């Protein structure tokens, strides 16, 4: 967490959290969702539409700031700490999106490095890696490289049902929908 964020938290400890305004898709793209967009439907669930995603973030310094201050609370809801305010993230699928490097090392959508521990595949053929940072989906552009890791015996996929993953791995895909449980 940035030092400036820690200072803001100390100065203003009781700022209300923000829900529904930020989304993370299955390719590691951040999306800004204003009130109008949120009214169109959920970010990533049954009934969501392309319009309900919002606008993709393009500002590199903002994206880097989010990445440096991205973490989970005790409920498994992911957020970024924006000064004194927590901005909860709506997840399309998992809290991490993995990029697979040529040497099969991993880099998250935030730029952080991770080490693979277990490999999972769901009924739709999506490949997930459980790492020292947590569970994430392998980016679609890296599936050829990931399949090479499987062929070399570096990763051995275990079957899992996609709908069971949030509970099994302790994350919440929609903190906005879950917020009633926290109150």
Q: Choose among 93, 84, 110: nearest CA to 162.
A: 93
Would you say 116 and 131 are in contact if contact means Cβ atoms under 8 Å apart?
Answer: yes
**What percent of the chain is modeled with pLDDT above 70?**
92
Would you say 88 and 19 are in contact if contact means Cβ atoms under 8 Å apart?
Answer: yes
* Beta-carbon contacts of residue 62 (< 8 Å; ≥ 6 apart): none
Would you state the pLDDT for residue 182?
46
Would you state the pLDDT for residue 4?
73
- Which DSSP category does 96 fall into? E
User: For the residues 29-53, what does the mean pLDDT come to?
Assistant: 86
CA separation for the pair 30, 43 (Å, rounded)? 11
More confident of the two residues 47 and 56:
56
Provide the pLDDT confidence category of residue 52 given band limits of 50, 70 and 90: confident
Token pair, residue 70, equals 């991205």
User: For the residues 26-52, what does the mean pLDDT come to?
Assistant: 87
Q: pTM for the complete prediction?
A: 0.89
Token pair, residue 6, equals 């820690």
What are the pLDDT digits (tens) for 101-140? 999 999 999 999 999 999 999 999 999 999 999 999 999 9
């Amino acid at each position: 967490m940035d030092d400036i964020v820690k200072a803001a938290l100390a100065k203003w400890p009781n700022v209300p959290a923000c829900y529904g305004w930020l989304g993370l898709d299955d390719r590691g793209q951040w999306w800004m969702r204003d009130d109008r967009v949120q009214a169109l439907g959920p970010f990533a669930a049954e009934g969501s539409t392309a319009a309900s995603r919002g606008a993709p973030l393009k500002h590199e310094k903002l994206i880097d700031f989010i990445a440096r201050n991205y973490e989970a609370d005790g409920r498994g809801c992911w957020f970024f700490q924006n000064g004194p305010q927590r901005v909860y993230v709506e997840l399309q699928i998992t809290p991490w999106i993995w990029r697979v490097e040529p040497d099969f090392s991993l880099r998250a959508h935030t730029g952080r490095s991770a080490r693979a521990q277990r490999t999972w595949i769901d009924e739709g053929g999506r490949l997930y890696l459980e790492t020292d940072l947590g569970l994430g989906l392998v980016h679609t552009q890296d599936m050829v490289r990931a399949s090479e890791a499987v062929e070399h015996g570096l990763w051995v996929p275990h079957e899992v049902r996609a709908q069971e993953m949030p509970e099994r791995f302790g994350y919440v895909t929609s903190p906005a929908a879950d917020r009633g449980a926290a109150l």
